[in-house]
Amino acid sequence: MNFLAHSYLAFSDGHIVGQFLQDFIRNKDRFSFPPEIVEGILLHREIDTFTDAHPEIHEAKKVFSPLVRLYSGAFVDVAFDYFLANHLPEETLKLHAERVYGVLGHHLHLFPPPFHRMLEGMERDNWLYHYREEQGIHFSFRNVLNKARYLDKNLAVFEVFLNNRPQLEAHFMKFFPDLVRHAETFNSRFRI
């Protein structure tokens, strides 16, 4: 899953920090943070593992894989953030985005400098909120293309998304409730 889904599935501020921190730390350092942040790191990994194994994700990847091969999962993640953003009430999404930026800004000292620059752009352009718009998702697809080492930067990934939006949304609608239940079950293990 991508930024919005990971932050949406966080059950506390510490989980939000851990969900984002996961992509910026070495594996051996994951247990060197306060317990709630470690839980967020572990939750991030659990979400990714569950997502990668889900049959709806395998089907959704088929939409992108003829064009982007092994990167199809990254584009599915971005597409699913679009659907999540559009299934949340607008005010809920706005408040969620503000909360995430505030929490991350308050814990910036835990993140390496590349994340500081990313958060600055994320907040300035309100990425989490703008996932609900075609322009915002197009921007996210461009970011994935720009980071992908072996892909042509001009691939028509956004057009593939637009042409297959109903199919992708159907996969999202079957997948996301399963993910929410799985994350809640995983989280409940920390609360015993």
Q: pLDDT band for 88, please (50, 70, 90 cuts).
A: very high
The whole-number pLDDT of residue 8 equals 96
Type and span of the H or E element at 67: helix 55-68
On whether the CB atoms of residues 18 and 40 are closer than 8 A, the answer is: yes
Please list, in sequence order, all residues whose beta carbon lies within 8 angstroms of the beta carbon of residue 97, skipping any fewer than 6 positions away.
Answer: 126, 128, 129
pLDDT tens sequence across 26-78: 888 878 899 999 999 999 999 999 999 999 999 999 999 999 999 999 999 99
The whole-number pLDDT of residue 191 equals 59
Domain boundaries, the chain: 3-191
Q: pLDDT band for 1, please (50, 70, 90 cuts).
A: low
C-alpha to C-alpha distances, 96 to 25, 109, 112, 126, 136, nearest whole angstrom: 24, 22, 23, 11, 17
pLDDT tens sequence across 129-166: 999 999 999 999 999 999 888 888 889 999 999 999 99
DSSP for 118-182, written as a single string:
HHHHHHHTTHHHHTTSHHHHHHHHHHHHHH-TTS-TT--HHHHHHHTHHHHHHHHHHHHHHHHHH
